[in-house]
Structure formats: C-alpha cells, structure tokens
Amino acid sequence: MHILLCNDDGVTHPGLLAMVQTLGKKHKISILAPDTNWSACGHVKTLHRPLLVKEVNLADGTPALACDGAPSDCVAIALLGVIEEPIDLVVTGINPHANLGHDVTYSGTVTSAIEAVYGGVPGIAVSLETGGDFKDEKDFLPAAEAFSDLLDRFKLDEIPEKTVLSVNLPYIKDGNFKGVQITRLGKRIYRDELIRNMGPKKREYYWIGGEHPVGEGDVDTDIGAIREGYISVTPLYLDMSSAEAREVLKKWDL
C-alpha cells in the first residue's frame, strides 16, 4: 500500500520515526506532518491564512514534508494533491500517550485520522500508553511492530463507511501483548484545575493544569483493555446523530 504518515507531536517525533522504520519495510511511505507540536488540538481546518510546506529529513535521513498547519490540515492537503500519488491509507501516530474515552475529541492524532475518512481514505490512529516522555524511537518500536503485524490482518475494504479506527497499545517493553480486543470508548475522568497568574502589566492570565486524567472502563472498553495489557481497537462512527435523542425530540411540541 501507499501509506501517508502523520502525527500531532511534530514531524521529528520518535513515535513517527518508529512507524516509518517499521511500516516502510512492507509499504510505500509518504510523510506529511506538522512542523511543531499540536497535541490536544482537536479537529482543525485552517482557512484564514496560507499553509506552508517544506522538505525536511528525519533523524535517520528519511525525507519528509513538514507543514505549519494542524495535523488535520496536513492530511487534508496531502489528499488534495500535495502528495501526488494516490494514497491508500492514512496512519497517524504513534502518539506518546493513549487516546482513550473522550480523548478522541481532543486528540490531533485521532482527528487527523478522521480527516482521512472525510477525504475518502481509510484512517487509523495509533497511540501508546507510555506513562513517560520517551526520547528515542526504539521505545516505540515494539508498538510499531505490533501495529504493523495487526495491519496485515486488517481488511480495509470491509471497514464500514464513516468509520475510523483508534488503536491503543499498553507500553510493554518486550512487545508481549496479551492479545487484541475490539472495544468501545470508556469513561475518561479529567482532573483539570485552573491556574491563575499575573502578567507583568497586571493582567491576569490562566493555564489549564491538573493531574494526568484517569479512566473508568469495563472489560470491553478501550480503558479496560489497555489496563489488562491488551491492544485496543475501537471503531469510531463519524455520524454523531443520536437516534435515541431524535425520538425524544420528536415528542416535543416544536
């Protein structure tokens, strides 16, 4: 396949390099990723300014393209023609933290894979529950190799329309995962807090701080699977219409 690789941590991130080194053994790879970190950017479409693209080299010398837009911008312009050869699949990641539960709406990793599906190409987001700040692609290689093997078994032409796959892996150094579970989203619990500071001109400003989020999840959820050492594959349906709520609203006197 011809696979487009993107991420939300920036083109030089070691998680992306691990994917290049692993998937590049089996597939043709093109890379178009942000030139800086866009973590937790959500789904962005930049329309108010031009987007700039430049050629760069990864740490191992692999040529890539870097864009000053958001991750979803990178995927959009790649599919629109910046990458001239037709793309069969978009893979985003590896993200250095799992994207579980409600994280999928914040995650640039997941939303750039969503942009692929909007563009008519299968999209898969890959995230790793590292529990730390890894500096070397070798830390990501067990997860990248596990995903590469998993991709061999995916039947991309059978993925339902309007569906993106979110793959989360626990960090297991030797790559000895317990297996794969098909999951639903668990409940993410955010522990955000407002941090107030005063600027030099006596103007108050704010940070969103707090501890790392935790999660509640049954055995069939992404959170539960990761907790037990399984790879989680969650299909996300992009038609967010609520059939249940529609029936409720139909009873209103509108």
Q: Quote the pLDDT of residue 121.
A: 98
All residue ranges of the chain with pLDDT < 50 are none
H/E stretch holding 192 reads strand 187-198
Q: Quote the pLDDT of residue 217.
A: 80
Q: What is the maximum alpha-carbon separation in the chain?
A: 64
Q: Quote the pLDDT of residue 85.
A: 97
Rounded percentage of the chain residues whose pLDDT exceeds 70: 99
Buried-state track 191-201, b at ≥16 Cβ within 10 A, e below 16: eeeeeeeeeee
Per residue in 200-254, pLDDT (tens digit) is 988 999 989 988 888 888 889 999 999 999 999 999 999 999 999 999 999 999 9
Nearest to 109 by CA among 175, 167, 171: 167
Q: How far apart are CA 181 and CA 171, in angstroms?
A: 16
Q: Quote the pLDDT of residue 126.
A: 98
What global pTM score does this model have? 0.94
User: How would you class 188 by CB atoms within 10 Å of its CB: exposed for 0-12, middle for 13-18, buried for 19 or more?
Assistant: buried
